Amino acid sequence: MEHGSGGRATGELIREIFESQFNSDVLSEMEDAAVVPGNGTIAMTTDSFVVTPLEFPGGDIGRLCICGTVNDLCMRGAVPKYITCGFILEEGADVELLRRIVKSMADTANEAGVKIVAGDTKVIEGDGGIYINTAGVGFVPNDVDIKAKNASPDDVIIVSGNVGDHHATVLSQRMGIKNTIQSDNAPLQEMVGKLIENHIPVHVLRDVTRGGLATVLKELALASGLRFDILQEKLPVNPQVKSFCGLLGLDPLYMGNEGKLVAIVPKEYGPQAVQIIKSSKYGENACMIGSVNAPDDQSEIGALIMKTEIGGRRFLDILQGEGLPRIC
Amino acid sequence: MEHGSGGRATGELIREIFESQFNSDVLSEMEDAAVVPGNGTIAMTTDSFVVTPLEFPGGDIGRLCICGTVNDLCMRGAVPKYITCGFILEEGADVELLRRIVKSMADTANEAGVKIVAGDTKVIEGDGGIYINTAGVGFVPNDVDIKAKNASPDDVIIVSGNVGDHHATVLSQRMGIKNTIQSDNAPLQEMVGKLIENHIPVHVLRDVTRGGLATVLKELALASGLRFDILQEKLPVNPQVKSFCGLLGLDPLYMGNEGKLVAIVPKEYGPQAVQIIKSSKYGENACMIGSVNAPDDQSEIGALIMKTEIGGRRFLDILQGEGLPRIC
| Pair B7, A328: CB distance under 8 Å | no
The candidate with the shortest Cα–Cα distance to B77, out of B213, B230, B207, B180, is B207
Residue B24 has pLDDT above 70, yes or no: no
Cα–Cα distances in angstroms (integers) from residue A221 to residues A78, A147, A266, B8, B139, in the given order: 23, 12, 16, 15, 36
Q: How far is B178 from chain A (nearest CA, A)?
A: 25
Instruction: Find chain A residues with C-beta within 8 A of B139's C-beta.
Output: 38
Q: Is the dihedral of CA A145, A150, A151, A155 positive or negative?
A: negative
Selected residue with higher pLDDT from B24 and B1 = B24
Phi, psi torsion values for A306, nearest 5 degrees? -105, 125
User: Which stretch of DSSP H or E encloses residue A35?
Assistant: strand A34-49
Pick from A6, A45, A322: which is nearest to B319 by CB? A6
pLDDT in tens, B100-120: 999 999 999 999 999 999 988
Instruction: Tell me the HSE value of B90 on the side-chain side, using a 13 A CA sphere.
Output: 12
How many residues are recorded in chain A?
328
Crossing angle of helices B61-74/B95-112, nearest 10°?
A: 30
Contact B73 A33 (CB under 8 A): yes
B chain contacts of residue A119, beta-carbon cutoff 8 Å:
46
Nearest CA in chain A to B48: A86
What value does the mean pLDDT of chain B take?
91
Cα distance between residue A240 and residue A146, in whole Å? 34
pLDDT of residue A4: 47
Residue B128's Cβ-side half-sphere holds a number of Cα atoms within 13 Å equal to 8
Nearest-angstrom CA–CA distance, A157 and B254: 59
Facing residue for B33 by CB, picked from A38, A73, A120: A73
The domain segmentation of chain B, as residue ranges, is 8-139, 148-316
Q: Per-residue pLDDT tens for B222-271?
A: 999 999 999 999 999 999 999 999 999 999 999 999 999 999 999 999 99
Which residues 98-137 of A are in CB contact (within 8 Å) with B?
Answer: 117-122, 124, 126, 129, 131, 133, 135-137
Q: Do A7 and B37 touch (CB under 8 A)?
A: no
Q: What is the pLDDT of residue B320?
A: 74
Q: Would you call B118 and A209 a contact, using CB atoms and an 8 Å cutoff?
A: no
When scoring B32, B130, B254, B319 by the number of chain A Cβ atoms within 10 A, the one with the most, hence best to mutate, is B32
What amino acid is encoded at B101 in this protein? I
Residue B208 has what pLDDT? Answer: 96
Q: Do B163 and B260 contact (CB within 8 A), yes or no?
A: yes
pLDDT at B327 over 80: no
The whole-angstrom distance between B231's CA and the closest CA on chain A is: 23
Per-residue pLDDT of chain A (328 residues; tens, 9 = 90+): 444 444 455 556 666 787 778 766 666 666 889 999 999 999 999 999 998 899 999 999 999 999 999 999 999 999 999 999 999 998 888 889 999 999 999 999 999 999 999 988 888 888 889 999 999 999 999 999 999 999 999 999 999 999 999 999 999 999 999 999 999 999 999 999 999 999 999 999 999 998 999 999 999 999 999 999 999 999 999 999 999 999 899 999 999 999 999 999 999 999 999 999 999 999 999 999 999 999 999 999 999 999 999 999 999 998 876 545 555 4
Tens-place pLDDT, residues B32-88: 899 999 999 999 999 999 988 999 999 999 999 999 999 999 999 999 999 999 999
Backbone angles phi, psi at A36, to 5 degrees: -140, 160
Complex ipTM:
0.89
Q: What angle do CA A185, A187, A188 make, to 5 degrees?
A: 115
* Cα–Cα distance for residue pair A317/B65, rounded to 1 Å: 36
- For residue A172, the model assigns a pLDDT of 93
For residue B13, pLDDT beyond 90: no
What tens digit of pLDDT does each residue of B276-306 get?
999 999 999 999 999 999 999 999 999 999 9
| Domain covering B148-316, topology | Phosphoribosyl-aminoimidazole Synthetase; Chain A, domain 2 (3.90.650)
- B256–chain A Cβ distance below 8 A for any pair: yes
Identify which has the larger pLDDT, B16 or B321: B16
- Chain A contact set for B119 (CB, 8 A): 46
Q: With an 8 Å Cβ cutoff, are A33 and B7 in contact?
A: no
Asked whether the predicted pLDDT for residue B324 surpasses 60, the reply is no
Q: Around Cβ B151, how many Cβ atoms within 10 Å?
A: 20
Q: For position B297, what pLDDT does the model report?
A: 96
pLDDT value for B2: 47
CATH of A8-139, one of 1.20.1250.20, 3.30.1330.10, 3.30.360.10, 3.20.20.70: 3.30.1330.10
- Tell me the nearest-neighbour CA distance from A41 into chain B, angstroms: 5
Interface size, chain A vs chain B, as Cβ–Cβ contacts under 8 Å:
253
A328 within 8 A of A210, measured Cβ to Cβ: yes
First to last CA, chain B: 26
Q: Is A258 on the interface with B (CB under 8 A)?
A: no
Distance CA B35, CA A37 (A): 17
pLDDT (0 to 100) of residue A221: 97
What pLDDT, on a 0 to 100 scale, did the predictor assign at position A29?
66
Helix (H, G, I), strand (E, B) or coil at A328: coil
Residue B318 to residue A8, Cβ atoms within 8 A? yes
Q: Which of residues 5-34 of A touch B (CB under 8 A)?
A: 5-9, 11, 29-34
